[in-house]
Amino acid sequence: MSAQTVDGIYLDPIGTAEKAAAQIALRTGVGQHDLALVMGSGWVGAVDALGTPTHEFSAEEIIGFLPPAVEGHSGKIRSYEIAGANGPLRALVFLGRTHLYEGKGIEPVVHSTRTAVKAGCKIVILTNACGGIKTEYKVGQPVLIRDHISLTATSPLIGANFVDLTDLYSKRIRAIVKSEDNSLQEGVYVHWRGPTYETPAEIKMMRTMGADLVGMSTVPEAIAAHALGAEVLGISLVTNAAAGVTGEKLNHEEVIAAGKAAAQRMGALLKGVIPKLF
């Protein structure tokens, strides 16, 4: 459903997110959700591990959400009840996301995250598929995001809002995830606007800067969630070696295939971690 816009900019992005949260509460009968998951390309299969949703609807039925633009992004919103260590949890799951490269501006990119926080979510789990810059990474390997580098020269925040990003990717949650799977590594994710993949020279630059992973999402959502007070977990699934790492060309089919192959492991990881978060 379209929100009120001027030149593609949401006039009142936080108010639009509040309206979207109210619509979701009406549709689900759930006044407050506890956590949100954004499932990126390659992660949609992992959601099966969460069980059967109590509700599912198309995101575009909710104010401010755009129709999906990428294969592997279904554009659905689901609500789940998940058993937690301290009682049942309500999870709001977004199957797919809007990316900066779609050219609609940054507001639709962060709308699901803001909606989730306005729906009550105290924790936002952002998943993505990405390119591996670090040469040791294998296709199909999940990596926790420890920190990021933004190369997009844009932010979801406007005005004199000097938000601290020192602990953007929650140390507390990363420790819980590593206690679930101690083979997990942590890395620095660099946000690239796309839609082109990088040149080999750009990947070399990123590696020199200290980046381990490269992708076209997650960073604006993490900032938007943190600015509204939510804790953030970012998990990347390496679905291809970044440009120039192996000499092979990059393609989206390989990304989808690597995601399918890893879906069961990623689902088990999420299922194991979520009950321990609250």
Interacting residues with ligand 8IG (CB under 6 A)? 129-131, 192, 194, 197-198, 214-216, 239-240, 242, 250, 255
Taking the complex as a whole, how short is the minimal distance between the CB of residue 197 and ligand 8IG, in angstroms?
5
Identity of the amino acid at 277: L
Buried b (16+ CB within 10 A) or exposed e, 169-193: bbeebbebbeeeeeebeebbbbbbe
Would you say 123 or 256 has its CB closer to ligand 8IG? Answer: 256
Whether 41 is catalytic is yes
Taking the complex as a whole, how short is the minimal distance between the CB of residue 129 and ligand 8IG, in angstroms?
4
Taking the complex as a whole, how short is the minimal distance between the CB of residue 256 and ligand 8IG, in angstroms?
9
Would you say 81 or 254 has its CB closer to ligand 8IG? Answer: 254
**Coil, strand, or helix at residue 228?**
coil
Would you say 15 or 140 has its CB closer to ligand 8IG? Answer: 140
Instruction: Determine contact, residues 98/69, Cβ cutoff 8 Å.
Output: yes
**Which residue of the set 17, 46, 119, 216 is catalytic?**
216
How many whole angstroms separate alpha carbon 73 and alpha carbon 96?
Answer: 4
DSSP 249: P
92: β partners: 36, 79
Whether 99 is catalytic is yes
Would you say 94 or 192 has its CB closer to ligand 8IG? Answer: 192
Whether 226 is catalytic is no
**Which residue of the set 74, 128, 170, 217 is catalytic?**
217
Would you say 59 or 206 has its CB closer to ligand 8IG? Answer: 206
Instruction: Determine contact, residues 127/222, Cβ cutoff 8 Å.
Output: no
DSSP 64: T
**Coil, strand, or helix at residue 146?**
strand
94: β partners: 38, 77
Whether 73 is catalytic is yes
Taking the complex as a whole, how short is the minimal distance between the CB of residue 56 and ligand 8IG, in angstroms?
25
**Which residue of the set 60, 102, 180, 254 is catalytic?**
102
Nearest Cα to 109, choosing from 219, 188, 233?
219
Angle, helices 13-28 vs 107-118, to 10°: value is 50
Token couple for 18: 């509040």
CA torsion through residues 182, 278, 145, 172, sign: negative
Whether 33 is catalytic is no
Taking the complex as a whole, how short is the minimal distance between the CB of residue 130 and ligand 8IG, in angstroms?
5
Cβ-closest residue to ligand 8IG?
131
**Which residue of the set 21, 79, 91, 99 is catalytic?**
99
Whether 191 is catalytic is no
**Coil, strand, or helix at residue 129?**
strand
Whether 209 is catalytic is no
Would you say 91 or 206 has its CB closer to ligand 8IG? Answer: 206
CB within 8 A of 181, min separation 6: which ones? 269, 272
Whether 71 is catalytic is no
Taking the complex as a whole, how short is the minimal distance between the CB of residue 96 and ligand 8IG, in angstroms?
14
**Which residue of the set 129, 227, 241, 263 is catalytic?**
129
Catalytic residues: 41, 73, 99, 101-102, 129, 216-217, 240, 252
